[in-house]
Structure 1
Amino acid sequence: MRSTADNTRRRPSGATERPGGGGHTRAPLPAELPTPRSRHAAERNGEQPGRPCGTAPETNTDGDRLAAMTATDDPAMTAYGHFTTMRVEHHAVRGLGLHLHRLVTDCAAVFSADLCPAHVRRRLRTATAEGPLTVRVTVTDPHLPLTHPAAPAHPHVAVTTRAPATQTPPPLRVRSTTYERDAPTIKHTGLFGALYERRRAQLAGYDDALFTNHDGLVSEGVTWNIGFIRHDTIVWPQADVLPGVTMRLLAAAHHGPQRTEPVHLSHLPRMTAAFATNAVGAIRPLAAIDHTSYPTDHRVLTRLREQYAHVVPETI
């Protein structure tokens, strides 16, 4: 895995891991715009550097250098970082262990630095109330120079919250587009390309965009994973995508047939139904992909919602 910056590019997909384990490597899901901040702004809001367990808090000895730093010197201004988004309710999160594991592994890939899960949990407990809340944990290093991202890093953890949607969102109508994220297995903050494709789809009258590679193989949505239903079998696209926490929870909780295989655009009429999944919206039916329409009340979708509701949240 390699770190990634703000620029996006298109490239061929590879195979990914099956959500339930074994088989092909596959993975997918969600995101928001990064919020660039300086060290001083972060500390004014109670944010602290991420650091290995048991070490003393980092002190700010770089005030003069930060004062002279230009916007183009600051990786936070170029979307160099990573994050995870979760739903917190009653001080608990479905798949909390998976979210923490993502942060630790992505921090090692992006910054070659250790991130202490206990430190993240403390930050979450401090920042979150009873809920429900949508919570984003972002990891950046505002000291890391743009000209030398390989320099030793001291990542900071920022926790931001917002109220969740109060109403169930309607089914999605999405437009397919050829696009592949940089370093797709990392949930990084370089979202320009993905959000630009979402904007283009919305301007064309759709709700969102669905990504494919140059061969027309389906991969993932802008901030969500996609699953298909063929008769009563769940089909996860075999593609180079982000391993979504909610997708992995669903794959583990579902006791019916499921498989991972390449899904070409030409296969869409053969599918019985389709759905998007991420930590914020859980399971959201797709009403249409391009000109192919799907029912939004398939019995497997109902079963998936019930199974997801029985996933026990982990206390922060």
Structure 2
Amino acid sequence: MTTPAAAPVPYAEFDGHPATEDDLRTAAFFNYGHFTAMQVREGRVRGLRLHLDRLDGANRALFELPLDGRRVRELIRHALRGAGVVDGSVRVHGFLPPGATATTVMVTVRGPARMPTGPKSMMSVPYARTVPHLKRPGEFGQTYYGNLASRAGFDDAVLTLPDGSVTEGSFTNIGFWDGDSVVWPQAPALLGTTMALLEQEFPGMGVRSRHSPVTLDGLGAYRSAFVTNSQGMAPVRRIDDTAFTVDEELMRRLEAAYERAPWDTV
């Protein structure tokens, strides 16, 4: 028997059917909505409940409508089958096109991805996202400042408030290590799923963590730093002119904590 060929990636479905031109116009011209991004391996996801809760919460906040997790799981499974893969980078988007009374769900599938693990240099930029607790498409400011940092010779940008408070990376959470605890900036930011999973698993690893204000002029108080997102984590070697120790033991402990998080079948 001949195995069916996998669909070209990126692959997209809308409400369980392969994307049509009309569907893609919705995404292109009406991008008021929300999404979550996840890495799928063998049909499983770490922190799936966090992703489903994020989608439901954002859908209620934007459209005053629930987004049923069982429906979302079925749409993800259907899109993976349509793409002919069990491993991939999956995004689930929620839209409410003009005149619609039910949320349109777009699921996209790309190849698997992992964050490069090399130490990152980051440039501070004066930018704060609107309603940062919601994950939304079309984030011009984050992309703009990320590109600006790249052109200046940095790997990425770190977002800051007018008072110099550090909030998050352009598309990452950022954490700091003071030699005793992981410190997450106490500031408006998206709660990333990898960050949430680390916090969930830290107690079992004997790792302390806390949320506390972090400012650019106070970066010298921290020995090391790192960033996380759905693709993994990486150490930070400097922010602007402040250098950090690339602590390989710390990164091993973070990876071990993340590996403790269970896989959920989609």
TM-score, normalised with respect to structure 1: 0.72
Cα distance change of structure 1 residues 130 and 182 upon mapping to structure 2, 3 Å threshold: same
Residue 5 of structure 2 corresponds to none
CA distance in 2, matches of 1:288, 1:250: 22
Stretches of structure 1 that go unaligned for 5 or more consecutive residues are: 1-34, 49-65, 145-151
Alignment map for 1:252-271 (pairs within 5 Å): 252-255=200-203, 256-271=207-222
Alignment map for 1:212-223 (pairs within 5 Å): 212-223=160-171
- Name the structure with the higher strand share: 2
2:127 corresponds, among 154, 165, 179, to 179
2:156 corresponds, among 178, 183, 208, to 208
Residue 23 of structure 1 corresponds to none
CA distance in 2, matches of 1:204, 1:198: 10
2:33 corresponds, among 81, 87, 92, to 81
- Name the structure with the higher helix share: 2
Cα distance change of structure 1 residues 300 and 44 upon mapping to structure 2, 3 Å threshold: closer
Report if aligned partners of 2:15, 2:106 keep a CA contact under 8 Å in 1: no
Alignment map for 1:28-67 (pairs within 5 Å): 42=14, 46=18
Residue 120 of structure 1 corresponds to 72
CA distance in 2, matches of 1:257, 1:165: 29
Report if aligned partners of 2:116, 2:234 keep a CA contact under 8 Å in 1: no
1:279 corresponds, among 225, 230, 241, to 230
Q: Which has the higher contact order (CA 8 A, sep 6+)?
A: 1
Deviation at 1:276, TM superposition (A): 0.4
Residue 94 of structure 2 corresponds to 139
Deviation at 1:78, TM superposition (A): 4.9
Q: Percent identity?
A: 36
CA distance in 2, matches of 1:139, 1:121: 14
CA distance in 2, matches of 1:192, 1:80: 13
Report if aligned partners of 1:178, 1:212 keep a CA contact under 8 Å in 2: yes
CA distance in 1, matches of 2:233, 2:210: 18
CA distance in 2, matches of 1:216, 1:162: 37
Residue 163 of structure 1 corresponds to 111
Report if aligned partners of 2:36, 2:51 keep a CA contact under 8 Å in 1: yes
Deviations 1:168-206 (A, max 9, x none): 442211100110111111111131111111111111111
Deviation at 1:82, TM superposition (A): 0.3
Deviations 1:228-285 (A, max 9, x none): 00013100100011111110110110122211110010111111100001111x2211
3-state SS of 1:98 partner? helix
3-state SS of 2:157 partner? strand
Amino acid at match of 1:310: R
2:176 corresponds, among 228, 237, 255, to 228
Report if aligned partners of 1:287, 1:293 keep a CA contact under 8 Å in 2: yes
Report if aligned partners of 1:75, 1:141 keep a CA contact under 8 Å in 2: no
Report if aligned partners of 2:171, 2:229 keep a CA contact under 8 Å in 1: yes
CA distance in 2, matches of 1:240, 1:249: 19
When the two chains are superposed, the root-mean-square deviation of aligned CA atoms in Å is: 2.4
Q: Which runs of 4+ in 1 moved over 6 A?
A: none
Report if aligned partners of 2:115, 2:234 keep a CA contact under 8 Å in 1: no
Amino acid at match of 2:253: R
Report if aligned partners of 1:185, 1:242 keep a CA contact under 8 Å in 2: yes
TM-score, normalised with respect to structure 2: 0.85
Deviation at 1:132, TM superposition (A): 2.7
Paired residue total = 247
Residue 192 of structure 1 corresponds to 140
CA distance in 1, matches of 2:241, 2:178: 18
Cα distance change of structure 1 residues 269 and 166 upon mapping to structure 2, 3 Å threshold: closer
